Amino acid sequence: MQNFEQFLLDNLPTSTSIHPTYEKALSQMLVAGGKRFRPALLLGVVKAYNPLLCEGARGVALAVELLHTYSLIHDDLPAMDNSPLRRGEPTLHVLYDEVTAILVGDALNTYSFEVLSETPFSDYTRVKLINILAKNGGLNGMVLGQAIDCYFENKPLKLEDIKVLHTNKTAKLIAASMQMGAVIVGKEELGEKLYDFGIKLGLLFQIQDDILDVTQSTSEAGKLTNNDQCKNSFVTILGLDIAMKEADALALELSDEMGSFEENLQSELSPVLTKYINRHKN
């Protein structure tokens, strides 16, 4: 991921205006770091089947990271989670003000599609990629999940409804990243399979986040922990022990399924997947 990290730093969003802090704020949460999990999945799929396309695919991975970062900025707003910390740094509404945080989130959202539209692929491929990212990041994806999460705060949901919430809020963008990698290398049928795998992976990712929220300190997590008591988290509803069992079962299922991937795909994805599939056990 070192190449992607440098690519991101070389392609940070810029703006020339009379605004004293807008341009700095645009890149603040991007340079703060992060797992870069979604770009790693996307680029891993591309590298497995056509390494020559990795250079162009970095722009697609950047678009996904831009959209993901916008979602974190908005998720931390006072009207949502009201979090003062993200990626180990003060959140934008704390550093500047709420208006700046909202507008930077809006800018990164739209900029992600600008970046995606300029990637060096065929018109068909670019439109397909834009469609997948919009569909999974928008009104019937991540935004829907956020809406459900906020509306049902302090209103406990059933387990199946919690899975619907987090499938939309977290899992769909992870699944989309894997599918987009397959589209870049012209393997759309594989993309459907990887999307389904990514949904399960995204649910595991969320269960793990909920576990880490109650088992890690704020400094370890790089964000405010023990902040989900009013939310429909897997730990809040199931309790820590049952949430751990859910995570263990899903991790085993994903590990078995990963074993059915073609050898080249396993080779590229195994390092990142093994790390994250088992992170709740560390």
Largest Cα–Cα distance of the chain, in whole Å?
Answer: 55
The contacts of residue 260 (CB under 8 Å, 6+ apart) are: none
Reported as a pLDDT band with limits 50, 70 and 90, residue 223 is confident
Lowest-pLDDT choice from 101-110, 189-198, 221-230:
221-230
Domain-wise residue ranges, the chain: 2-281
**pLDDT tops 90 at residue 254:** yes
Residue 89 bridge partners (DSSP):
86
The CATH number of the domain covering residues in 2-281: 1.10.600.10
Q: Report the range of poorest mean pLDDT among 98-102, 118-122, 233-237.
A: 233-237
Say if CB 53 and CB 184 are below 8 A apart: yes
pLDDT value, residue 1: 63
pTM: 0.95
- What would the pLDDT profile of 10-63 be if each residue is shown by its tens digit? 999 999 889 999 999 999 999 999 999 999 999 999 999 999 999 999 999 999
Q: What is the mean pLDDT of residues 89-114?
A: 97
Treating both helix axes as pointing N-terminal to C-terminal, what angle do 172-184 and 54-75 enclose, rounded to 10 degrees? 170
- What is the SS3 string spanning the chain? CHHHHHHHHHCCCCCCCCCCCHHHHHHHHHHCCCCCHHHHHHHHHHHHHCHHHHHHHHHHHHHHHHHHHHHHHHHCCCCCCCCCEECCEECHHHHCCHHHHHHHHHHHHHHHHHHHHCCCCCHHHHHHHHHHHHHHHCCCCHHHHHHHHHHCCCCCCCHHHHHHHHHHHHHHHHHHHHHHHHHHCCCHHHHHHHHHHHHHHHHHHHHHHHHHHHHCCHHHHCCCCCCCCCCCCHHHHHCHHHHHHHHHHHHHHHHHHHCCCCHHHHHHHHHHHHHHHCHHHC
Mean pLDDT of the chain: 94
Average pLDDT for 134-139: 97
Question: pLDDT tens digits, residue range 163-197?
Answer: 999 999 999 999 999 999 999 999 999 999 999 99
Taking each helix axis as running N to C, give the angle between helix 37-49 and helix 263-277, from 0 to 180 degrees, rounded to the nearest 10: 170
For residue 216, the model assigns a pLDDT of 85
